[in-house]
Structure 1
Amino acid sequence: MSTIIVTSSGSRCDRWATAACVSSLDTTTRYRGRCSSGSLLGVASGGGPLATTAANSSTPPVVRRLPAMAPLAIKGVMLSRQKELPKLPVPPLSETLERLWLSLQPILSAEQLQASRKAIDKLGERGGEGEYLHRMLTYRYKRLDNWLDEWWLNTAYLDVRTPLPVHSSPAAIFPRQTFTSEEDFLLFAAKLTAALLEFKDLIDRQALPPDLAGHLPLDMTMYFKLYCMHRVPKPGRDVLVSYADEPDPPRHIVVMHNNHASTPIVMHGGRIAITEVSCDLHVLYIGT
C-alpha cells in the first residue's frame, strides 16, 4: 500500500510538492543483507546481555515475511550479481577489543579509562567470556548470510523510541511548484503517482540494473521493502509487516485529503495511466 497526501492552502495555487519516502533501511550496502559498510552499529557488553543474545540467536525474528529474508528467484537483471557480494566479516576478537578501547578514550575520564582497560583485558583472556562470545558469533556468521542483519534492524530501527520522521524515516522535498489551476496540481500528483508505480513495476519484474559503487555491485534486496510494507508500533520493539509476497498483494493506493482517507486508485496491472490517476484524484478532490 502506498499513500498520497493531497494538500491545498489558501486561494492561490502555489504549493509545495512533497514526497514522503519509505525508510529504506540502508539500500546501498556492500555486503549481503542490510549492513552498510559506512554505518556499522557497535554494541559493547562485558556481561550477560550479549551472551544471552548469542545463545538465543536461533529465535525467530519479529519481522513478518520479509521478502529479502527468503531466497529470491532470479528472474531479471536486478539480482544477477547478488552472488558476488561478500559476507560481512567477523573481525578477530583482539581487533574488536582494541577498537573498543580506542573509541572510549575521547569520552571517559582517566579513572573510567583505567577501569575499562581492566574490563577489556579480562574480556580478552584466553578461555574467557569474550572468547566464548566470539566463537558464538563465528558460528552465527557461518549459518547466516549476514550475522548483523537482524541485530542491526532491531537495534538501529525497531527498538528506537524516538519519532520516526527525521530520526529514522527519510523524506524529500521537491522544488517549489507554481500551478495555475487545481487541475494542474492534481496532474502533478498523478504524474508522481504514475512514476512511483512504474518504479514498483521495475522492482516486481526485477528489471532494475544492479547498483554499483565504482565497479562493485551493491545489495539489491532492499528494494523489495519499499512497497507493500509498514511498521506496526509495539511496546519495546516495533514490527515490520510485508504483504508483497502474498498470493494477492495489495493493489490500492491510499489518498489523504482534508482529513479523509480513501482508496480511489486501484492497480489492475504493473502500471496505470496518468490520465486515469488524474481523474481519480479529481473526483476525490471535489468530493471531500
Structure 2
Amino acid sequence: MTSTASTDQNTLPRLPVPTLAETARKYLKTVAPLLNNDEFNETKKIVEQFRQESEPLQELLLKRAQTEENWLSQWWLNKTYLEWRLNLPIYYNPAIVLPRQSYRDFDGQIQFAANFVHGVLRYRSLLDGNQIPIDRFGTDPLCMDQYNKVLGICRIPAKSIDRLHLYNKNGHRHVAIFYRNN
C-alpha cells in the first residue's frame, strides 16, 4: 500500500533543536568566506562569548520543542512570510512556469485556461481525498502539512503581522479569474 499525505504524519520525528556547538560551527562555516582573517577571528570570539552566555536561551528552545509539534515553524512563518512587507506575487506566492503556448484564437486561450483550472481542481480532489503519495527523503517520510495549505488559504493584511485564514474545504468552492487586470 502506498502511504498518502496524512498516513504517517503523526509518526514523523520532531524537528531536533541543534546544540549550541553545532549552531556556532555552522554559523562560522557560513561567514568564513565573507570575512578576512581579522574579522573572522573577531567573529569567533563573539560567537564563543555568545555560546557561554546563551545556555538559558537553549533551554527555552528545548522546552518549546517539547510542547510544539515543530518548535521553528510558527517563527519561520511569521518572520519569512507574515511580517515581511515585500511584494507577494514575486517573492512568496507559489508559482508555475508553463511552457510557451501558441493559440490560434481567443477560444484556444479559453480552452487552455479551462484545462488548467480543471487540472488544479483534480489535484484539489486528490488532496481532499488523501490520495497524494507521501514525499520521502530516501525511505524516510516527510511532513506533508504544507500541501493542505496550498489551495483555499488567504493571507489577510494586518498592521504588524498578517494572518492566514484557511477556508473549510467543504464549504468554499470558488475559482477567481482575472482578465485584463479586472
Normalising by the smaller structure, the TM-score range is 0.7 to 0.9
1:189, distance to aligned residue in structure 2 (A) = 1.3
Looking at structure 2, the residues matched to 97 and 251 of structure 1 have their Cα atoms a distance apart, in angstroms, of 48
The 8 Å contact of residues 232 and 241 in structure 1, kept in 2 or not, is answered as yes
Give the distance between the partners of 2:109 and 2:6, measured in 1 at CA.
37
One-letter code aligned to 1:244: N
Partner amino acid, structure 2, of 1:102: K
Q: 1:253: which partner in 2?
A: 175
The 3 A distance-change label for structure 1 pair 117 and 173 is closer
Which runs of 5 or more residues in structure 1 are unaligned?
Answer: 1-75, 261-288
Structure-1 separation of matches of 2:174 and 2:25:
52
Q: Distance in 2 between matches of 1:100 and 1:180?
A: 55
8 A contact 1:124–1:131 mirrored in 2:
yes
**Unaligned ranges ≥5, structure 2:** none
Matched, 1:77 2:1: no
Q: RMSD in angstroms over aligned alpha carbons?
A: 2.3
Q: 1:132–1:176: structure 2 CA closer, same or farther, 3 Å change rule?
A: same
**Counterparts in 2 of 1:161 and 1:111: CA distance versus 1, 3 Å:** farther
State the shift of 1:201 in Å.
1.0
Aligned to 1:240: 164
Deviation at 1:117, TM superposition (A): 2.8
Q: Which has the larger radius of gyration?
A: 1
Aligned residue for 1:155, secondary structure, equals helix
Partner amino acid, structure 2, of 1:253: V
Deviation at 1:215, TM superposition (A): 2.2
Q: Percent identity?
A: 31
**What's 1:161 paired with?**
85
With CA pairs under 8 Å and 6+ residues apart, which has the higher RCO, 1 or 2? 1
What is the TM-score of this pair, normalised by structure 2?
Answer: 0.85
Alignment correspondent of 1:107:
34
Which protein has the bigger strand share? 1
Contact 1:229 1:244 in 2 (8 A): no
Q: 1:174 — aligned with what?
A: 98
The alignment partner of 2:71 has SS state of: coil
User: 2:17 — aligned with what?
Assistant: 90
Question: In the TM superposition, what whole-angstrom CA distance separates every residue of 1:58-78 from its partner, at most 9, and x where no partner exists?
Answer: xxxxxxxxxxxxxxxxxx933
Q: Distance in 2 between matches of 1:212 and 1:111?
A: 43
Count how many residue pairs are aligned between Structure 1 and Structure 2.
Answer: 180
Contact 1:159 1:236 in 2 (8 A): yes
Q: TM-score, normalised to structure 1's length?
A: 0.56
* Secondary structure of the corresponding residue to residue 66 of structure 2: helix
* Separation (CA, whole Å) in 2 of partners of 1:116 and 1:176: 49
What is the CA distance between 1:134 and its match in structure 2? 0.5
How far off its partner does 1:109 sit? 4.6
